[in-house]
Every structure is written in structure tokens, then in C-alpha cells.
Chains A and B, each alone.
Chain A
Amino acid sequence: MARDAHLPQSGAELRRLNELRRGDRGVVARVGVDDHEAHGVSAEELERRLLEMGFVEGARLAVLFEGLIRRDPMAVRVDDLRVALRRREAQAVVVALDDDSRSRGR
């Protein structure tokens, strides 16, 4: 089971950021929503905003903190930047989990 935890593996577990828990880490695997959800902006616009804040494929990501009610919003580290976002927007980010984060939380 020992793998290099710093590279996204082809077999790495893929999860949406909004499903992650505090302490989970990984690498951003995909950014963008395909289904049209109620985000107040178009899917393309949401994707660009996330990209502009550094949520880009290959960026290191770690979930730092969660809010009190329904664990929302969440604070994450994207590369060197700490960013707060709501879980609704976090849905648009898919993360390849590091091995030690796999199947934790639930």
C-alpha cells in the first residue's frame, strides 16, 4: 500500500471537496461543474473564479477547519494560500486524496 503521497496517483481516491473533512489532504484533480446548479453564477464563471483563487489542477490542497453548523463554511489551504469557501462552491473541486487521508471521516 505504500505509495508516494505527494503525487496524484492514477488509482487515487477521487472525492469532491465538499465531502472532505478536516485533516484530509490531496491534490486538485479537476475544477468545474458539469451539472447546472444554483450558484448564482454560471458554471463557467464559477470555474474561472475558483481558478483565479488558485484552485487549479495539480495544486496541493488540505482541509484546515470547518464551521460550527453543518461544518460549513470550510477553510482550506491551496498551495500557499489559505482560503475560506462554502461547501456549495467546494462541490466544483474534485480532489485526489493522499493515501493517508483515504477512507477517513466517512
Chain B
Amino acid sequence: MTDTLAPIQDRPAAPARAEPRVALVGNPNCGKTALFNALTGARQKVANYAGVTVERKEGQVSTPAGQRAHVLDLPGTYSLRARSPDEEVTRDVVMGKFRGEAAPDVIVAVADATNLRLALRLLLELKQVGRPVVLALNMYDIAQRQGLRIDLDRLSQELGMPVVTTVATRRRGLDDLLAQVDRLSVDGLRSDDQWHAPSAAELRAAHREAERIMKVCVRPPERPDTWTGRLDGVLLHPVWGTLILFAILFLMFQAVFTWARPVMELIDGGFKSAGELVNHTLPDGMLRSLLADGVIAGVGSILVFLPQILILFFFIILLEDFGYMARAAFLMDRMMGVAGLHGRAFIPLLSSFACAIPGIMATRVIDNKRDRITTILVAPLMTCSARIPVYTLIISAFIPPKVVWGVVNLQGLVMFGLYAAGIASALIVAAVVRRLFWRSAVEPFLMELPAYKAPDLRNVAQNVLMRGQIFLRRAGTVILSMMILIWFLSSVPGAPAGATGPAIDYSFAGMIGHAIEPILRPIGFNWQMGVALIPGMAAREVAVGALGTVYAVAGGEAATGTLASTLAGHWSLATALAFLAWYVFAPQCASTLAVVKRETNSWRWPVVMFCYMLAAAYLAAFVTYHAAAALGGG
């Protein structure tokens, strides 16, 4: 360990230097973010596939010496050459080129102890940067379970750096690690940055060196993991694997529909009695209308969907933790390839089922700019969780809860169909974009298939709860304020004396709705739907709340039934189906467009996205409406 040779004579007891900055660097999926969370108490996303973290995140920790240190979590990488935007972040931070930020004082090289070879190769590259490095052998619990023997002293000698073992998920080994960080931040040797992008020959030489170190320091596991191979035998089977993938997706949407039902009814009942309470206790007037029609009918109609959102996230997080995502990407790769999508586009697209925003950010793992933009353009077509309220509302109003083929819930089936429509349209649009704009060859696709891990139930529960919190916060802020605005527009100005129609016809909302009605009539929409579509731009769920408010205001005392039954009374089946078709495409989410602007650094792509989605939504609704009407659904 060469770095203990630094001069120590007149170092003050409590060094008065700036708080050290510590960067976590390593291969994808080796547990950097888990370690970051353990150190700083943050709750960044941890999951069992490569490419989870795509940004630089900062947190703080106090070291045993009482020093405060800044910890940086970085995207994983196999080399410092940085071939994709996420890897560029890592390279720039390590080399001190990130937005004028100085290079980190200490680098913590994180490695998956059960998978050392590539980690050692990266480490040799990392040493050339000339910063003090400590190696954290993470996942040491798994290494021990497998009976893997690593000679730590020898490894430290060979590498010329301290080595500690950690179990990030159990918070083990953190003190040792921090003690080394303390030490290195004071007397670690620093030299000039001598890194250059390695040539193929240099890579081979580094591999030989890594192999030599492996030979002297690591004895192969006595009990290697055989589960992963056995499970893959089924889950990656060309036929069974594909069937299982579809079965899992199908089960997921059935569950979203059927399991959530009882709780949703409970919540719905709660809001209904709250509305009745307000109606009975408050005197008739603006305040009562605001509370009953705006807040309770509006926000309540969205909060009902909390159970469904939680169930969806429960499934997604479980699959992510288990290690299934990379397998799904493997199985779907060929289909993606036909559409001209890059293999690495699959996980971003799958994340878009939750929300297009993290999905679009996750496209940073795609190296080629064109591949990346194609993926970004189609990501919002994947059915995000904000569409669930819209879909569920319409489905429960118009599709009978019948059981078909013995076990399948018809409503769940329609839901599945809508998801399938989203996927199919994403593939079609991607193929069209490729044919029209760029026909270049698809970039090489190399993806690590991580070992399966039993999901940590605490982690799953924590993440599901966090998604619930995010949903509730949105409901309490964006959605609540939009609802109040909509209520205001639907109630003001009041009807003139001697008016014959309902009061809402004379309100601002009524005027706006009637003004755009001519545009919407060809696709079977009425003016109330027009009122719902515009605020839906802020967030898709708002459309549901807006319908709740508009019909509540219009209905007055008579509005006793649920929103679904109100809609069933007012809309034809063709209109309802057209509304669903509209929502498969509708570009109604301002924050998605903002993220596209940020990620592509130009207004061009958000504009393209908005226009093509709007056109597609109109066209799809038009075709659906007329087809359904012709078949007798008008």
C-alpha cells in the first residue's frame, strides 16, 4: 500500500481542508446506488439490471473522523471511454470536467465481488486518472455464500490500493470504507491525469493483467450460483420464455383491474359520503360548490386510482429487483429489431409503463443519437400510469365486468388490449421514423444478464410506498390546483336571469368547450370532453377529474351516481371508445415534453412529438368513432 508513504509531520489533528468529494465508480449493477443510499440515507432507485442510474447524484455522509464528505453516485460503465450520454457523465465527473467541477478527492471503485474480472480491468484504467482509489468489494454476502475466496491483502498489494468488503444492502462494511476515505482524502497520493482512451491492444494487455491478478488472488466459488442458470432455462426458453413474458404482463393488468376493485370502492364510497356531508352541512353557495364539486368530486375521482397505481408499481419493482428486466429485453429484442429499435431501448420503454419521464431519461444508456431519439419519440406511447384513471373510468362505465373464457375478466382484457395497442403503435412509429428519417445500421447490442436475486421485500415495500407518495403529492398540488381552476371556470360567470339551459353552459368552461366543439365533433366528442382535454395537458389524470367536476357542476343535486354511471348515461359507446383511442396517443403531458426538450437540448423534438401524437390521436379517435358507430355503437 504505497499511499501510506505520504508525509504526515505537520498535519493538523482535525484537518481544516475543504469537505472531501467522493465519487462511486464501477461497472453497471455492482451496487453503487445501494452503497450511495446506505451511506447518505438517500432513496435513489436501486434495481437488478444494468443502467439504472443515468445521472450524477450527490449526498452527504459524516466520516468516522467527524469530517463531512460529499458522495457522488454515478452511472455504471465498463470503461472510461464513454460511449453513451450516461457514461459521459461518469467520465466527466471522474476527470473533473463536469460543469467546471473539480475532480473528486477520492474515488471509491465499487466492484461486484462475484464478478471481478471486468471490474479489475476498469480499475486499471481508473488508476491512470491519478486520484486516490479505494476498492469496495461489494455483494460480499453473495461471495461468501458461494464460497468464493478472495485474498484481500494480496489484492490490495497487487493493485496498490486499500481494499474493503461491503454489503451495501445490509449496510455492512461502511465504517471500514469511510475510514479509508478519511485517510485517502488526507494523504492519498495524487498525480497527473495520464488516462487516454485505450486501444484494442492496450485493452488486451489490461485483460491479461486482470487475469493474472485474478489467478493469484481469487479462488473460484465452491458453490457457484446454479439457480440463475436453471431459471434461465425456463425464462429464456425460446417458446416457454416468450409465453411466460406475455403471461406475466397479462397477469399484471388483470391484477391491476381485479385486485384493486374492493379498495377502490371503499375510497370512492369515502369520497361520496364526504361530498354528501358537505352538501348537507354547508349552506348552498360558492363554498359548498367548490368543496363538493371542485375538491371532492375532482380530486376524489383521481385518488380512487391509488390502489391500481400501487399494484402496477408493485409488479414492476418486483420484476426489476428479481432481475427479470434484462430477460424481457432479451426475449423482445428481435421484435424491437424489426421495428428498427436498439436492443437497449427495451428497458426505457418498459419503464415508460410507469411514467414516460424516467423512461426518457433511461434512454441515456443508448449510445447512438438517432437510436436514442427514436426511442424518446415513441416512449410516451407506452401506457403510463397516468392513463390508468382514464382507461379505468371509461372501461368500468362501458365494458360489462363479465368473465370470458372461464377465467378472464373482460374489463382486464380490454385494459390489456389498450396496453397492447400502445406497444404496437410504438413499434410502428419507430419503424416509420427509421424508414423516413434515418436508415443507418443499428448499433451493436451487448447487454449483461445479471444473476437473479430474491427481491428484498423491505426495499419493494419502500419503493411502492414512495410511488404512492409521489402520486398523492401530485394529487395534492398540480391536480388539486387544476381542479380548483376548472371548478372556477365551470361556475363563473353564473347563468343570466331567465336562462333556460344549465348554468355551466354560460360559464367560461362552457364557452371554451362550445368553442372547440366543432373541431371535436367529427371524432364524436362532446363539449364537456373538450373542457376535460385542455387541462389534461398539464397531467393526463386531470382529464378524469375535470369530467368529474364538469358533470358534478352541471348535474347539481341530481348528481348522485358515480362518475362512471353519469358517463354511461351521457356518452355513446362509440364516443367512449373514441376517447380511449384518443388517449392511446394524446400528447397530454407538459412535463414529458419538457423532459424531451432537456434531454435532446432542442425544441425540435418536443415539437415533433407533440404534433405527431396529436395528429395520431385525432386520426385514431376519428377512425374508432366512425367504425364503432357503423357497427351500431353510435
The stretch that binds B, out of A4-12, A43-51, A94-102, is A43-51
Check B330 against A56 for contact (C-beta < 8 Å): no
Bound-state CA distance A81–B214 (Å) is 14
Q: Which residues of chain B have C-beta atoms less than 8 A from A83's C-beta?
A: 446-449
**Interface of chain B residues 301 through 346 with chain A (CB within 8 A):** 326, 329-331, 333-334, 337, 343
Given A40-B443, A47-B200, 20 extra CB contacts under 8 A? A40-B442, A44-B200, A49-B446, A51-B200, A53-B78, A53-B446, A54-B117, A56-B204, A64-B229, A68-B238, A68-B334, A71-B238, A73-B333, A75-B232, A79-B117, A81-B118, A81-B448, A82-B228, A86-B445, A88-B444
Bound-state CA distance A86–B335 (Å) is 12
A contacts, CB < 8 Å to B:
32, 38-41, 44, 46-54, 56-58, 64-73, 75, 79-86, 88-89
Residue of A nearest to B228 (CB): A82
Bound-state CA distance A75–B446 (Å) is 10
Question: Which of A39, A44, A58, A84 makes the CB contact (< 8 A) with B330?
Answer: A84
Report if B211 contacts A (CB, 8 A): yes
**Interface of chain B residues 114 through 139 with chain A (CB within 8 A):** 114-115, 117-118, 121
Can you list 5 pairs linking A and B with CB atoms under 8 Å apart?
Answer: A40-B442, A40-B444, A51-B204, A56-B207, A57-B204
Bound-state CA distance A66–B83 (Å) is 27
Q: Which residues of chain A have C-beta atoms less than 8 A from B330's C-beta?
A: 65, 67, 73, 75, 84
Check B440 against A40 for contact (C-beta < 8 Å): yes
Report if B368 contacts A (CB, 8 A): yes
Check A75 against B207 for contact (C-beta < 8 Å): no
Q: Which residues of chain B have C-beta atoms less than 8 A from A39's C-beta?
A: 441, 443-444
Residue total for B at the interface (Cβ-Cβ under 8 A): 45
Task: Report the 5 A-B pairs with minimum CB-CB distance, sorted nearest first.
Answer: A82-B449, A68-B238, A38-B441, A40-B441, A40-B443
Bound-state CA distance A39–B444 (Å) is 6
Q: Which residues of chain B have C-beta atoms less than 8 A from A73's C-beta?
A: 330, 333-334, 343, 445
The minimal Cβ–Cβ distance linking B148 to chain A, given in whole angstroms, is 10
The minimal Cβ–Cβ distance linking A37 to chain B, given in whole angstroms, is 9
Bound-state CA distance A106–B270 (Å) is 67
The minimal Cβ–Cβ distance linking A72 to chain B, given in whole angstroms, is 6
Given contacts A44-B200, A68-B238, A82-B449, contact A53 B443 (CB under 8 A): no
**Interface of chain B residues 465 through 492 with chain A (CB within 8 A):** none
The minimal Cβ–Cβ distance linking B246 to chain A, given in whole angstroms, is 12
Bound-state CA distance A72–B442 (Å) is 15
Q: Which residues of chain B have C-beta atoms less than 8 A from A64's C-beta?
A: 229, 232, 236
Most chain-A Cβ atoms within 10 A of its Cβ — which of B229, B442, B449?
A: B449
Check B203 against A51 for contact (C-beta < 8 Å): yes
Q: Which residues of chain B have C-beta atoms less than 8 A from A46's C-beta?
A: 444
Bound-state CA distance A58–B204 (Å) is 10
Check A89 against B444 for contact (C-beta < 8 Å): yes
Check B334 against A67 for contact (C-beta < 8 Å): yes
Residue of B nearest to A53 (CB): B446
The minimal Cβ–Cβ distance linking A74 to chain B, given in whole angstroms, is 9
The minimal Cβ–Cβ distance linking B419 to chain A, given in whole angstroms, is 21
Bound-state CA distance A54–B441 (Å) is 24
Most chain-A Cβ atoms within 10 A of its Cβ — which of B79, B207, B329, B442?
A: B207
Q: Which residues of chain A have C-beta atoms less than 8 A from B448's C-beta?
A: 53, 81-84
Bound-state CA distance A57–B375 (Å) is 34
Q: Which residues of chain A have C-beta atoms less than 8 A from B445's C-beta?
A: 73, 84-86, 89
Report if B507 contacts A (CB, 8 A): no
The minimal Cβ–Cβ distance linking A47 to chain B, given in whole angstroms, is 5
The minimal Cβ–Cβ distance linking A96 to chain B, given in whole angstroms, is 17
Bound-state CA distance A16–B469 (Å) is 52
Most chain-A Cβ atoms within 10 A of its Cβ — which of B118, B236, B337, B446?
A: B446
Bound-state CA distance A40–B217 (Å) is 39
Q: Which residues of chain B have C-beta atoms less than 8 A from A69's C-beta?
A: 334
Bound-state CA distance A5–B447 (Å) is 28
Question: Which of B118, B200, B238, B450 makes the CB contact (< 8 A) with A53?
Answer: B118
Q: Which residues of chain A have C-beta atoms less than 8 A from B326's C-beta?
A: 84
Check B444 against A75 for contact (C-beta < 8 Å): no
**Interface of chain B residues 193 through 219 with chain A (CB within 8 A):** 198-200, 203-204, 207, 211
Residue of A nearest to B367 (CB): A41
Check A84 against B447 for contact (C-beta < 8 Å): yes
Q: Which residues of chain B have C-beta atoms less than 8 A from A41's C-beta?
A: 443-444
Report if B81 contacts A (CB, 8 A): yes
Bound-state CA distance A46–B343 (Å) is 16
Residue of A nearest to B77 (CB): A52
Check B444 against A58 for contact (C-beta < 8 Å): no
Bound-state CA distance A62–B451 (Å) is 16
The minimal Cβ–Cβ distance linking B119 to chain A, given in whole angstroms, is 11
The minimal Cβ–Cβ distance linking A23 to chain B, given in whole angstroms, is 12
Report if B239 contacts A (CB, 8 A): yes
Q: Which residues of chain A have C-beta atoms less than 8 A from B443's C-beta?
A: 39-41
Residue of B nearest to A86 (CB): B445
Check A89 against B204 for contact (C-beta < 8 Å): no
Bound-state CA distance A58–B207 (Å) is 10
Bound-state CA distance A105–B25 (Å) is 42
Report if B242 contacts A (CB, 8 A): yes
Bound-state CA distance A83–B115 (Å) is 13
Question: Which of B237, B334, B449 makes the CB contact (< 8 A) with A70?
Answer: B334
Most chain-B Cβ atoms within 10 A of its Cβ — which of A48, A50, A57?
A: A48
Check A81 against B115 for contact (C-beta < 8 Å): yes
Check B200 against A86 for contact (C-beta < 8 Å): no
The minimal Cβ–Cβ distance linking A51 to chain B, given in whole angstroms, is 4
Q: Which residues of chain B have C-beta atoms less than 8 A from A86's C-beta?
A: 333, 337, 343, 444-445
Check B114 against A65 for contact (C-beta < 8 Å): no
Bound-state CA distance A70–B440 (Å) is 22
Check A68 against B239 for contact (C-beta < 8 Å): yes
Check A65 against B118 for contact (C-beta < 8 Å): no
Check A75 against B236 for contact (C-beta < 8 Å): yes
Q: Which residues of chain A have C-beta atoms less than 8 A from B83's C-beta?
A: 49
Q: Which residues of chain B have C-beta atoms less than 8 A from A88's C-beta?
A: 444
